């Protein structure tokens, strides 16, 4: 029994869970006015963490393959703007606009995957190009200004609750479950780990490398569109500046949750905990009235610490 507990606590998800407990403990210790203990505070945390978590689910698969995706924040923005324009200027029903948004995000993700797999570009370069492309089109489509406002029935996706649980949190859980099933119970998941663990061995084994790389980046683009729908419904309009820097939060959530930047290691559960850590930290800093500028500094420090821990862990493994 003790060995089982010890193994659980030393796993990537177990360490992430302990980190989450530490962040919550710090929030309790440093919260003077009691805002940390209010139910509304934690609902806001869940809403905020949901966007990062949805993006991080797709990012986890990409990082497991040994890649990186810098474009998810920009795909979120162009999907948000496109959705709003379809509803407001073309009078599409919101459910049809949602489908179009998901198709757009998947297509952009697939294009990134094609650049990595077929054109043999480094993931950093390929997704950096897609990040610039998507962000540029978001500003072109919207003419550089927010597009809204959206109907109440759609905004309930981002602002409503079910049994007291925010709808974005429920959508996040669904995404985590789907990601878990993909990674643990499908051939796609096994090949994803294989690509990150030993690419040459995967090639020799006959795995269709290009097909599964494109599939991974398509999934990341699809979830970026899902995050766009949730965030657009939450704020009530499509904006070209949405998602700026969110790719860093998604990477941080994945790495904090135990996904190795060296590839071949990661889990959906750990990513969920990593996203909650990011959400709790951001909300805690807001409660403490820490400025947005200093919050960016704190985020950078967290990313550096998480990557340093990951590098040292990989050195010990080798």
Domain-embedded: residue 8:
no
Determine the pLDDT at residue 315: 58
Burial class (CB in 10 A: 0-12, 13-18, 19+), 11: middle
Q: Which residues contact 248 (CB under 8 A, 6 or more apart)?
A: 299, 303
The pLDDT value given to residue 9: 41
Does the residue 2 lie in any domain? no
Predicted local distance difference test score (pLDDT) of residue 116: 95
What does the pLDDT read at residue 12? 54
- What are the start-end ranges of the H helices in the chain? 2-10, 12-30, 39-64, 72-88, 94-117, 123-142, 152-159, 167-185, 187-197, 199-204, 209-235, 246-256, 268-287, 292-317
- Per-residue pLDDT, 117: 93
Report the pLDDT value the prediction gives residue 2, as an integer from 0 to 100. Answer: 39
Q: CA-based diameter of the chain, in Å?
A: 61
Is residue 7 situated within a structural domain?
A: no
- Check residue 294 and give its pLDDT: 79
**Count of residues in the chain:** 318
| pLDDT for the residue 314 | 60
- Domains in the chain, number: 1
- Domain of 214, CATH number, reads 1.10.3470
Q: Is residue 307 part of a domain?
A: yes
pLDDT at 227: 96
Write down the pLDDT at residue 33: 54
Question: Exposed, middle or buried by CB within 10 Å (0-12, 13-18, 19+), for 179?
Answer: buried
Domain membership of residue 132 as a residue range: 14-25+34-313
In-domain check, residue 3: no
User: Mean pLDDT, 10 residues at a time, over the chain (318 residues)?
Assistant: 44 55 54 55 78 95 96 96 86 90 97 94 96 94 78 78 88 96 95 90 86 96 96 87 90 88 89 85 75 77 72 60
Residue 11 gets which letter from DSSP? S
- Which pLDDT value is given to residue 124? 94
The token pair that represents 306 in the structure block = 């998480």
For 180, residues 6+ apart whose C-beta sits below 8 A from its C-beta are 267, 268, 269
């Amino acid at each position: 029994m003790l060995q089982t507990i010890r193994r659980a606590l030393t796993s990537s998800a177990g360490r992430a869970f302990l980190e989450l407990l530490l962040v919550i403990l710090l929030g309790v210790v440093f919260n003077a006015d009691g805002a940390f203990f209010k139910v509304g505070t934690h609902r806001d945390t869940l809403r905020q963490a949901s966007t990062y978590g949805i993006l991080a689910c797709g990012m986890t698969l990409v990082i497991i393959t040994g890649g990186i995706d810098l474009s998810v924040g920009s795909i979120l923005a162009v999907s948000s703007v496109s959705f709003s324009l379809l509803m407001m200027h073309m009078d599409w029903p919101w459910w049809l606009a949602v489908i179009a948004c998901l198709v757009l995000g998947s297509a952009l993700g697939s294009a990134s995957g094609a650049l990595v797999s077929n054109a043999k570009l480094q993931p950093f370069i390929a997704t950096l190009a897609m990040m610039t492309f998507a962000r540029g089109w978001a500003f072109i489509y919207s003419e550089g200004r927010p597009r809204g406002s959206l109907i109440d029935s759609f905004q309930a996706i981002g602002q409503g609750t079910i049994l007291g649980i925010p709808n974005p949190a429920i959508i996040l859980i669904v995404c985590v479950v789907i990601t878990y099933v993909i990674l643990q119970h499908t051939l796609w998941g096994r090949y994803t780990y294989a690509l990150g663990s030993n690419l040459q061995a995967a090639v020799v084994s006959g795995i269709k490398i290009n097909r599964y790389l494109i599939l991974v980046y398509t999934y990341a683009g699809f979830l970026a569109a899902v995050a766009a729908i949730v965030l657009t419904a939450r704020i009530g309009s499509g904006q070209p500046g949405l998602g700026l820097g969110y790719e860093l939060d998604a990477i941080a959530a994945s790495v904090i949750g135990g996904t190795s930047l060296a590839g071949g290691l990661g889990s959906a559960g750990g990513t969920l905990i990593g996203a909650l850590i990011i959400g709790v930290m951001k909300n805690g800093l807001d409660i403490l009235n820490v400025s947005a500028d200093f919050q960016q500094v704190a985020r950078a420090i967290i990313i550096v610490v998480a990557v340093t821990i990951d590098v040292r862990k990989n050195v010990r493994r080798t």
